[in-house]
Amino acid sequence: MTTVRIRGEEQPGFLEILSNWLPHQPWFPTPRGRRSLTRVGGLRLPTPQGDPDSGLFLEHHVFDVELPQGPQRISVPVALRSRPSALAGKTAFIGKLTDQNGKDLWVYDGARDRAFLAAWLEMARRRQGSRNGRSRGEALAGFETWDAFELQMRRSAVQAQDASHTRTLVAPEDAAEEGDWEKKVVVDFLRRPTQQRTPLLETVLTLTRANSRSVPRVLGTISGAWEKTATAADEAEWENGDLSVIREAGVEAPSAWALARAALKAGRSFSAEAGELGRWLGTFHADLAGAFGAHPQSTAQLKSMAQNAQAALSSQWAGVREEFDEDEAADLHEVIDLMTMQLRDADEPLMLQQIHGDLSLGHAHQMTPQRWVFNESDGLIERALGLRDVVTMLMSAANLVMEVANETPEASSTEEGEAQAPVNFGQWYEEFTKSFLKGYRSSDVDASGVDSVFFRAAMLAEALELFAQWEGSWVFRPSMLLQVEG
């Protein structure tokens, strides 16, 4: 018996239950009051094999929401089921209605329904298109060679980096709960679709197409169309844009901050991981330079940077000088005088390129022991020095060491009652720094920046600020600048 395909928007009460559900979603443009919905686009998906519900229909709708300031466009994927289903889950439930034939339909959010996710991922992986040609999937970075996505998958809601997105983490059934990050994907549903891609997405797409592995790559996209205006001849004008972006799940993998903290608390070295982390940061910078270009500073830029570095160092020193005893102050003053002189004499321009600009250990995620990726969600900046990311990463590690040091008693005991040797926090950080910089230099990046006086001056200025923040304690010692310089 052939099942007659229904259309959700034609069922009595469909728009009403959506209107009740939408104001409670964080991405909806207005949280108050019911709003009129006008369907302006969408597509129907084939149901994947294995779902026990023979009355399952998968749809994606694009609506215009009438608001006082004008219509706002939203994207709503749904699964229409003839019975409640664990493949969707209670949290995905939108509402229940009765179709035109008097049969009950349970409506679920497609972004959380396993059947919808399987069909959606297959549309991208297999580069499928809709019958009318207005929607299509695209596969990148070898996604078309992945195994087919089936209903037997793990899926969980995770926090999207953009408030207008809904993100779901999807893992094949054979992927370990805490590992196999290269087998997992995150699916972002763009709830407020537009014609234009964000500069950040364009950047990641460019890196993906350049075969970069230092960011969570874009594996696929699904684009669609929606009606813009209607003419007197009832012919519609259409706009096209992304409905969904599928990426590697690197941003959900363990962060360097969490891993380093666990190592510190257990008194374990993190040197090997720091070396790989540094190498991948260098690879990230090399990928950005290769994809978007790099150019040397002008004479004026070099001079301005030297003056700014001197001023920052002088200001930080003035703020904490009284905290040191006479001998320590004399040693530091000598180091700062030497740096000031070197900054005045600096005449070798460094390379400017696109970088993150504020990388911390929390931005780095370990997908495998041999691969780190960087979360670019805070945005990238143009015409900057790569050394800036290195400084912020190392100072992030120093701040973590200070946090753990202040939480850790001088002596602790194991479960067996044996005394556990206290962690030498200064040595731990010194080894971390040495391995990190060695790894950075071993990559394909132009490492001249981290061998410059500008890097040493920035490190010391940041360290003095950290010293003030921790009320006269620090883990970064001036003697380490000699190691960095060497």
Q: 79-100: per-residue pLDDT in tens?
A: 999 999 877 777 899 999 987 7
Domain ranges for the chain, please list them: 8-252, 256-485
Beta bridge partner(s), residue 62: 41, 75
Task: For the chain, state the CA radius of gyration.
Answer: 27
**Residues 6 or more apart whose Cβ sits within 8 Å of residue 284:** 212, 214, 215, 356, 374
**What CATH number does the domain located at 256-485 have?**
3.90.1200.10
Cα torsion through 362, 363, 364, 366, rounded to 10:
70
% of the chain with per-residue pLDDT over 90: 69
Tell me how far apart the alpha carbons of residues 275 and 178 are, in angstroms, rounded to a whole number.
23
pLDDT, average across residues 418-447: 88
The phi, psi pair for 47, rounded to 5°, reads: -80, 135
- Name the average pLDDT for the chain: 89
Comparing 412 with 409, the larger pLDDT belongs to 409
pLDDT, average across residues 118-147: 95
Comparing 412 with 320, the larger pLDDT belongs to 320
